Structure 1
Amino acid sequence: MVLAGGRASRLGGVDKVMLPVGGRSLLDRTLEALRGADPVVVVGPRRPEVPGVRWTVEEPAGGGPLAAVDAGLRCLGPGDAVVAILAGDHPHLTRDTLDRLREALRRDPEAGGAVLAEPGGRPQWLLGVWRVRALREAMPAEVRNRPVRAVFDALDPVRVPATTAEVSDVDTQDDLDRARSADR
């Protein structure tokens, strides 16, 4: 599941996930990390230039990341056991990153998820792999404008050390410039 909505107010309101880094949009780079996953759900406005995914949006739109996660969960089937939940603005996320998260979750059957943690230890809640059943059970009745941290932290996820590049995101023009420089 890729969260690809939001206002991108610090970037002037552009469609942030469609910004290019290394010749590919941020969204395409995230989808590449998910190659082989089925289904792939993108929560945000439909982008016709991005085929082969299921699209959904929280109702009403603009309810924040937890509302987006809730909308994405509704697209998963009853047999889906694990879901990666990723913000669409991390240009250096890779398939290897997701493999490490899945392996950490597999090794700890009691954990509700596995999440990347910054070098300082702070979890990046929208860079994780979660047990679908546990996540569904933890979702509050009201998800609009509620923090994801409260729900995800309650699932006692395994914290997987990340490289600085993996957790770098694009929120400002400086972030975008750094991502483009690092990708050369």
Structure 2
Amino acid sequence: MEFDAVVVAGGGSTRLGGVDKALVVLDGVTFLDRVLRAVGHATHTVVVGPVRETYREVQWTQEDPPGSGPVAGLAAGLASGSAPNVVVLSCDLPWVTAQDITRLVDSIDTHDGSGLRDSDGRDQWLAAAYKRSSLAKAFTKLGDPHNKSVRRLVADLDLVWSDPSRSGDDVDTWADLDG
């Protein structure tokens, strides 16, 4: 199934001491490149955040103003591409794989989207595939996306979730790498 990818990579990484999460290296590969490999089959890939070196070419964009939150970043990223489905990932998901992405996109079916749950069973809205039309409606309902929560954006969407897995684990602190 055809999909575009939006990778949100503009956060401040304050819980990592200000280290750029996108450039943290795990097993010789940056978090950002690991996520970009997972969405390697996307029709179009846009990364929202400051331009960095990556293993493949992608489009870059930034929310305006920079630092106005992941929903504003997602809105900026959705302005690119036209596939009916959009995979949305934060750059701090180093264990997500191409197989996970295929399962997410394939399981949207009659729902608005499909997402990963982390190892603790928490829904990861920034590790999900959505129907572009459903996200567009959610943004219309939300209004101004600046400094709004992703949870609020997707609150009325019909989403299905994976079983808990490491693939949905994000890295917010150094301890999260130890899993």
Pairwise same-fold verdict (TM > 0.5): yes
Moved more, 68-77 or 47-56: 47-56
User: 1: CA distance between counterparts of 2:24 and 2:120?
Assistant: 28
Give 1:136's aligned residue.
136
SS in 1 for 2:104: helix
User: 2: CA distance between counterparts of 1:120 and 1:29?
Assistant: 22
Give 1:71's aligned residue.
76
Letter in 2 for 1:132: R
Contact 1:84 1:128 in 2 (8 A): yes
Contact 1:89 1:170 in 2 (8 A): yes
User: 1: CA distance between counterparts of 2:92 and 2:120?
Assistant: 20
Letter in 1 for 2:72: A
User: Which residues of structure 1 form unaligned runs of 5+?
Assistant: 180-184
Give 1:170's aligned residue.
171
Deviations 1:7-62 (A, max 9, x none): 00111111111110000000000001011212001001011445410100100011
Q: Please list every run of at least 4 consecutive aligned residues from structure 1 whose deviation after the TM superposition is greater than 3 angstroms.
A: 48-51, 118-121
Alignment match of 2:85 (pick from 63, 82, 88): 82
User: Which residues of structure 2 form unaligned runs of 5+?
Assistant: 1-5
Give 1:43's aligned residue.
48
SS in 2 for 1:137: helix
Cα separation, partners in 2 of 1:118 and 1:171, compared to 1, 3 Å:
closer
SS in 1 for 2:95: coil
Give TM-score, length-normalised by structure 1: 0.88
Letter in 2 for 1:148: V
User: Higher helix share goes to which structure?
Assistant: 1
Q: Give 1 or 2 for the bigger CA radius of gyration.
A: 1
Letter in 2 for 1:8: S
Alignment match of 2:101 (pick from 88, 98, 101): 98
Percent identical among aligned pairs is 37
Give TM-score, length-normalised by structure 2: 0.90
| 1:87 to partner: Cα distance | 0.7
Deviations 1:73-118 (A, max 9, x none): 11123xx200000011111100111111112113xx1x11111123
| 1:150 to partner: Cα distance | 1.5
Q: CA RMSD in A?
A: 1.5
Alignment match of 2:153 (pick from 151, 154, 157): 151
SS in 2 for 1:130: strand
